[in-house]
Structure 1
Amino acid sequence: MTKAPEDVRLASGPTIGARVRTWFLTGIVVAGPLAVTGSLVLWFVNTVDNAVRTIVPSRFLPDTYLPVQIPGFGVVIAFVGLTLLGFCAANLAGRTAFTIGESLLARMPIVRSIHRGAKQIFETLFSENGSSLRRVGLVEFPMKGQWALVFISSPPTSLVETRLPPSHDARISVFLPCVPNPTTGFYFYLPARDVIELPMTPEDAAKLIMSCGVIQPEGQAALAGMAAAARATPKEPLAPAPVSTLGPSS
């Protein structure tokens, strides 16, 4: 008994066109992340190199004596310079010098505001013992029954707390990033009991947001199970927010 043409195609497996399509898509999946990573690394290296060349005298650059340009030399110089700067700032003499410099900047009306804000941001992001934006949670947003991922920040400062309506519940501030660009979003205060903290790293949360839910956290349960477990866990008391002494502005 002879087979029908459809049976012959099924028995012979995928066609050449289907295999080529699969190979092509696999190549895109493999080469795409490498291309994006390489482009970002190259952009970063070139940006730092160009910035360093404008500061370092040409006689100290290897490009002056070599026929080819060495990429990454500026990154090495920047790394060494920042390390030495941190070493000096950690010493007594360095701290004294930086304190004098900051006191001079504090007397400049416009410069002091920029420096003060930038310093607070960098100290918050790169603090070794800080926890701001390093915890992930769920809040009901934009309406009841709909949940959104947020990065948990810190309790409101006393200045903000005194302006909020009186409440017996502790408050917390959160940042709700937009999809697929997590650098923009909403920052607001809400009762801490309305935030369900998740056992998820900020890196996994960022992947989940930027991929619009396509890339799920690796080695972790579904968000529903994580939220249920978080509800069953008693909440620890919130630590008071650190308040920086900014001093009166004039």
Structure 2
Amino acid sequence: MSQDKNTDKEHKFGGGFFARIRAYFLAGVLVTAPIAITFAVAIWFIELVDNQIVHLIPDHLNPDTYLRETLGLQIGLPGLGLIVLFVAITLIGALTAGLVGRYIVHAWEVVLNRMPVISGVYSASKQILETLLKNQSEAFRQAVLVEYPRRGAWTIAFVTGNTQGEVKQKLENEQVSIYVPTTPNPTSGFLLFVPKEDLKPLDMPVEDALKLLISLGIVNPSDKKDKMAKIVRKSFKG
């Protein structure tokens, strides 16, 4: 009997020990994985911009040339291309804010609008960016639930505004334009015009709704803050 009790204790000790190790490991993954993915994406983006821009900088203006010839260091400054791009875009914005700059932009738009295909791409991309970057815009500021693609099946959508123009004239009642993204890639989706009363507004921010979509419903914004604590507490029950 005593040997059986010792064996049971050993099994409980071993099972509890490995359960804790597994729980601690999963908790560590929840902490380190998002940080690692964030840094990986940031490094990839920086290298992408650097590879496209750094080689365009004249040697006498490139800080890498100074470091190589003066200090004997050939390290390549990471993010140099990103800094140059930021400065260039800021300067372009400052120049176009003036009278001469606005005239040049207007003349350039006249040329683009007369070119087939390209005019459509330019006007569409400009309208989208203007809508997203305006502080007053309500586009993608509200996450809602809508019955789609059939009654009884619900999906997350984003309100992009009220219907206007011919669309509003052709439709009855008050219609709202919504964007229904696909999962797990929210950059593609469908534009729908639906009655406002058919939508159920969500209290969660747009960022949390996007996380829910991209994770295929695995990441629930309501309990994501308690997930790590639950994993750690579970280890002590073994």
Give the TM-score category using the shorter length.
Answer: 0.7 to 0.9
Q: What letter corresponds to residue 166 of structure 2 in structure 1? A: L
Alpha-carbon shift at residue 12 of structure 1 (Å): 4.1
Q: Which residue of 2 aligns with 1:245?
A: none
> Whole-Å Cα distance in 2 between the matches of residues 39 and 79 of structure 1?
21
Alpha-carbon shift at residue 38 of structure 1 (Å): 1.1
Q: What letter corresponds to residue 205 of structure 2 in structure 1? A: T
Residues 183 and 213 of structure 2 are in contact (CA less than 8 Å); yes or no, is this contact kept in structure 1?
yes
Structure 2 residue 210 is the aligned partner of structure 1 residue 215: no
Structure 2 residue 148 is the aligned partner of structure 1 residue 144: no
10-19 vs 132-141, greater mean Cα deviation = 10-19
Structure 2 residue 200 is the aligned partner of structure 1 residue 196: yes
Q: Which residue of 2 aligns with 1:58?
A: 59
Alpha-carbon shift at residue 83 of structure 1 (Å): 1.3
- Distance change in 2, residues 1:27/1:144 (3 Å): same
Corresponding residue to 2:182 among 155, 164, 178: 178
Q: What letter corresponds to residue 117 of structure 1 in structure 2? A: A
Alpha-carbon shift at residue 15 of structure 1 (Å): 4.3
> Whole-Å Cα distance in 2 between the matches of residues 110 and 181 of structure 1?
26
Q: Which residue of 1 aligns with 2:233?
A: none
Structure 2 residue 21 is the aligned partner of structure 1 residue 20: yes
Structure 2 gaps, min length 5:
68-73, 225-238
Structure 2 residue 130 is the aligned partner of structure 1 residue 129: no
Structure 2 residue 94 is the aligned partner of structure 1 residue 87: yes
Q: What letter corresponds to residue 92 of structure 1 in structure 2? A: L
Q: How many residues align?
A: 217
Q: Which residue of 1 aligns with 2:9?
A: 8
Q: Which residue of 2 aligns with 1:206?
A: 210
Structure 1 SS opposite 2:56: coil
Q: Which residue of 2 aligns with 1:159?
A: 166
- Distance change in 2, residues 1:118/1:201 (3 Å): same
Greater percentage in helix: 2
> Whole-Å Cα distance in 1 between the matches of residues 168 and 198 of structure 2?
17
Q: Which residue of 2 aligns with 1:234?
A: none
> Whole-Å Cα distance in 1 between the matches of residues 38 and 139 of structure 2?
27
Structure 2 residue 100 is the aligned partner of structure 1 residue 96: no
> Whole-Å Cα distance in 1 between the matches of residues 185 and 7 of structure 2?
47
> Whole-Å Cα distance in 1 between the matches of residues 12 and 29 of structure 2?
29
- Distance change in 2, residues 1:107/1:183 (3 Å): closer
> Whole-Å Cα distance in 2 between the matches of residues 159 and 55 of structure 1?
48
- Distance change in 2, residues 1:32/1:156 (3 Å): same
Structure 2 SS opposite 1:18: helix
Residues 158 and 178 of structure 2 are in contact (CA less than 8 Å); yes or no, is this contact kept in structure 1?
yes
> Whole-Å Cα distance in 1 between the matches of residues 166 and 54 of structure 2?
45
TM-score, scaled to structure 1: 0.76
> Whole-Å Cα distance in 2 between the matches of residues 11 and 113 of structure 1?
69
Could you tell me the percent identity over the aligned residues? 35
> Whole-Å Cα distance in 2 between the matches of residues 181 and 57 of structure 1?
40
Q: What letter corresponds to residue 137 of structure 1 in structure 2? A: V
Alpha-carbon shift at residue 61 of structure 1 (Å): 1.7
Q: Which residue of 1 aligns with 2:124?
A: 117
- Distance change in 2, residues 1:158/1:68 (3 Å): same
Deviations 1:140-193 (A, max 9, x none): 12322222111111223313334x4x41x1111111122222222222111111
> Whole-Å Cα distance in 1 between the matches of residues 128 and 56 of structure 2?
26
Q: What letter corresponds to residue 151 of structure 2 in structure 1? A: K
Alpha-carbon shift at residue 6 of structure 1 (Å): 6.0
Q: What letter corresponds to residue 53 of structure 1 in structure 2? A: V
Structure 1 gaps, min length 5:
221-250
